[in-house]
Amino acid sequence: MRNTLSFVGVILIIVGVLFLAYQGITYTKREKVAQIGSLEVTTDQQKTVTFPPMLGGLSLAAGLVLVVISRLKK
């Protein structure tokens, strides 16, 4: 149980730091605009998925709490 809490805590800390370091992920999506016979017109659109900083902070805090609790149970 103690090792599991510590492991989950470390994972949450890593995820929290990553969410705080990278505010979002940008990707390109190709969409078909029109099709006339065998001719297709497509466009590339950049989309962004943002991570709220509060989510990163909460994940970091929860991870720290789990690590501290696992250390106190020794």
Q: What pLDDT is attached to residue 74?
A: 66
62: nearest Cα among 15, 25, 3, 2:
15
Which pLDDT score is estimated for 12? 95
pTM of the model: 0.69
Instruction: Give residue-wise pLDDT tens across range 2-30.
Output: 688 889 999 999 999 998 998 888 999 99
Radius of gyration of the chain (CA): 21
pLDDT 10s digits, 27-59: 999 998 898 888 999 999 999 998 888 999 999
Pairing state between β 39-50 and 24-36: antiparallel
List strand residue ranges (DSSP E) for 1-74, in order: 24-36, 39-50
